[in-house]
Each structure stands twice: as structure tokens, then as C-alpha cells.
Structure 1
């Protein structure tokens, strides 16, 4: 049975341009499993400084931050963790007695996934994308020792800036190149989007790849991941990323690390929506 919120309930929220349900269901399911008097609610805002001030003033314990607020939040906090400073992008705020500290658990999740999958840092890769999440993934790859990288982005200014920041090369399109690792950090393949059925990389490149990584989480089985699995390629999915980053947020908010079984149950529950 769910714990009914009371005047003593610790509130955590998320701020997103388009609030989703995964985080709400994931966090609240874990609170219920662990008997914690916490409650999580998704929100949006047209006034970010006021919203962040409200987090501080109202004693809201934690806040997940999604687009389009990830970079603007940095000027509104008291302390920035290296995970966020490294990429100048925030996805988590933790409030400790009015002191707001910013983290980026997307970055932390990617670093952990590369280690869990034992991906050799000598592996050359092509990463498609140049937005905030692309910055988190590219920075995680750089900091994990991946030195041979190519940023694929049609936006030349953003693509070159990301490539220069991380020490990689930039191209507008992949062309005939077939790098060992392919990483999609764009909305291509996202459910409900204009390119929901599209491939982020040519079939020939997927066929030649040794690992395919797609950060799109809804659905986890994007056209790129489906093709990679059909071709027998190891994959890392967006569901892996979103689950792990949400777990790290949960730990930051509560100080408790759930068991693997508890996390798996929360992920399964969150995916039912």
C-alpha cells in the first residue's frame, strides 16, 4: 500500500519542458518498496529562477532537471558537482538545508555503463548529436579515456564546439565511415517524433559496428537497437541510461542505495505507463 503524504513527507520534483511519467513512477515505487516518507511529482515552469527559489525556500529535497532547463540552472545554485561542471549541464539538484548542489547523473550513468559493458577505451566511435545530452555522453567518453571520436551533427557550430571541447573531430554526416562503436544522442527513433521509424546510422555502418549505443529511452527498442540486435551486435539502450541516472538521483535524494531486485521492479513498474 502506498504511503499517504503528510505534513512531514519529503517532497522531490522534476522540472521539464514536457514532463514524463518514468521518473514519477520509478521514484515513488522505490519510496513505497522501502517504506520512505517521500513523494515525487513532475512539474514544468515558465519562470525557472522562481522555481529554483521555491525549491530552496520550501525545503524540496531534490529536483530532476530536463530540457530546456539544464544549462540555465547552473547560475541559480550554490555548488556544482564535477559531474555537472565537466559538461556545463545539470540534471539533478539536491537541497541540503537551503544549500543547492547541482549534479549530472546522465554523465555518471554513461560512465558506469561503459564500465559495466567493459568497453575498451581504445574503441573508435561516432556520436550523432550536439545537444545537452550529447555533451554529457561525449564528456563521459572523453573522461573514460576514449580518444578517437567523431561528432556527427548537422548544426556545424554546435557540432564543432562539442568536438573541440572534448578533443574529437566533427563531420556533418557519417558518410562511408564504419567506426567500431555507434552512439545516437538525437531524437531519431523516439516514439511520437517525426523520425520515429528512422535509423540514426546507415545499415552498413550498423553491420560493421562492434557496439551500438542509443540513448533514446522511449521506446528502448528503437529501430537502431532492433537492427543491431538482429545483426547480433551488443547494445546499450536508452532504458539502461534512464534507469541508472534515475537510480543515482534516488541515492542522492535519500542516501539509500536499493538492491538490484528493487531497482528492476521499479524500472518494470515505470515502463508500464
Structure 2
């Protein structure tokens, strides 16, 4: 049984531009299932340096980092683990007695999904060039996806990301789709872009696999359209769960069982996302 919250309870948290409830529900449910004296809470901030200073000063054990803070947080912490250093993007901070180390668990989650859910490497179009895009592009390259194009309006970031991994770059979508479409932009995320489609309907009809890293909501317009068209789907909900399990291990030193992960996922995201973890 989980102990009642008290002075020895360890706090973990997340920082996001659009905080939601699913991450908190997943971590807190795992704490309950494992009887751990932890609590998890999500936050946003308009003062990132002050927020990271609070993580350090208050002894907050771990902090998940989401868009738009994954690159901006790097100068504010003390060091980078290899996964974050190579990708130059942080999605996890671990606090060891005031020393803050950045990790990237997105990469491992995305690579695992690519290798389990797509039988062979496909040509891809990927929209985005920010911190999450860096993790996804690195995972695509390392999973053997050799033919790809980065679509990014930010020419400097897009060209640099494409050149680093040997892909093409363009500012706008091409005339034709690719077999794998990947959205790593805020399009479809709750907020002002919630009804925006990451790819046009004709591209979705022509693709084989639709992959959207947006997790809030899980059912983005892109994912809904791809599902209606009968396409294979990888959702942001799946990415969030798998990377959260890696974060949980970093924070607590404990890896939950697959059954515990499925139970926590059902509680946080629903039965459909939980079932997709076995796909």
C-alpha cells in the first residue's frame, strides 16, 4: 500500500507548454501499484530558469520536460547523459542531491515503436525540427529508415537536422506523400492548433503508416483521419507511455512490470492505448 503523503514523500513533476492530466495519472497510479512514497504533479511556466531553480532548491526528484522547453532547459542544468547530449534535447531531469542531469527517453520509446510496429523501413516525410523532432529523426536513422525528408519552415534548424542524419530538407510539403508520415509539430495539439491537420487528406490516403507524436489529445485530427482511412497508426499516447516508463525507472530505480504498465496506461489513457502497447 502507498504510504500517506508526508514530509518524506518524494515529488516528481513535469513542465510543459500545455500540461495535461495523463502523465500525472500514469505515474501516480504506478506509485500506488508499487506502494511507493512518491507523488507526481504537472506544471507549466513562463519563467523556465526559476522553475528549474525550484527543482534544484526544493529537492524535486525528477522533472519531465515537454515542448517547448526541451532545448531551452539545457543551459540551466549541470550535465547531459549520452542520449540527451547526442540529440541535444532533454525530456527528463534527474536531481541527485542538487545536481541536475538531463536525459532523453523519447529516443528509446520511438525506436522501440518503430522496430515493433513497422515491418521494414519505409520512405518518410517528417514535419518538425524542434527538440522532439531530434529524438524521432535519430530513432528513424538508427532503426534503418534511410530515405526521408524533413519538412520544416525554420530553414536553419531543418537543414541542420536533415544534414546531421543524411536526409533531405524542404520548407513546405512536396507534391506527393511518403509511405510513412510523421508529425512532430504542435499541429493537432490542444490549444490554438487543435483542429489543424498535420498532413492533407490526399497524403493520408496515400500513406501506409501515420505516426503523430502529439499526445494531448491522443486522437488528433491526423490520427482520426488515418484511422478512418484504415491506415496503420502509431500515436503520441504510445510514445508518452513508453518514455514515461523509462523516466519512472530513472526517478525510482524500479522498472514496473508489463502488467503494471498496462494497468496504469488504462487508468491514464484508456483501454485502446493500453492494448496498443502489445501491438
Alignment TM-score, normalising by the size of structure 1: 0.89
| Gap change, CA 1:93 and 1:169, over 3 Å in 2 | same
Partner of 2:108: 108
Give how far 1:30 is off: 0.8
Matched, 1:220 2:210: no
| Gap change, CA 1:199 and 1:54, over 3 Å in 2 | closer
Q: Assess if the C-alpha contact under 8 Å between 2:94 and 2:251 holds in 1.
A: yes
| Gap change, CA 1:106 and 1:201, over 3 Å in 2 | same
Q: Assess if the C-alpha contact under 8 Å between 1:86 and 1:139 holds in 2.
A: no
Partner of 2:36: 36
1:41 & 1:24 partners in 2: Cα distance?
6
| Gap change, CA 1:72 and 1:178, over 3 Å in 2 | closer
> C-alpha offsets along residues 38-86 of structure 1, whole Å, 9 cap, x if unaligned?
1112234444344334433433211111233322322233331121112
**What do you get for the CA RMSD once the two structures are aligned?**
2.1
Partner of 2:180: 181
Unaligned runs of 5+ in 2: 271-279
Q: Which runs of 4+ in 1 moved over 6 A?
A: none
| Gap change, CA 1:56 and 1:218, over 3 Å in 2 | closer
Matched, 1:166 2:178: no
1:45 & 1:233 partners in 2: Cα distance?
37
> C-alpha offsets along residues 242-271 of structure 1, whole Å, 9 cap, x if unaligned?
111111111111111112222222223223
1:152 & 1:34 partners in 2: Cα distance?
43
Q: Assess if the C-alpha contact under 8 Å between 2:2 and 2:37 holds in 1.
A: no
Q: Assess if the C-alpha contact under 8 Å between 2:188 and 2:221 holds in 1.
A: yes
Q: Assess if the C-alpha contact under 8 Å between 1:28 and 1:40 holds in 2.
A: yes
Partner of 1:68: 68
Give how far 1:205 is off: 2.0
| Gap change, CA 1:174 and 1:48, over 3 Å in 2 | closer
Equivalent residues in 2 for 1:181-200, closer than 5 Å: 181-194=180-193, 196-200=194-198
- Match for 2:235 among 234, 237, 251? 237
Unaligned runs of 5+ in 1: none
SS in 2 for 1:86: helix
Alignment TM-score, normalising by the size of structure 2: 0.88
Q: Assess if the C-alpha contact under 8 Å between 1:81 and 1:101 holds in 2.
A: yes
Equivalent residues in 2 for 1:25-174, closer than 5 Å: 25-121=25-121, 123-174=122-173
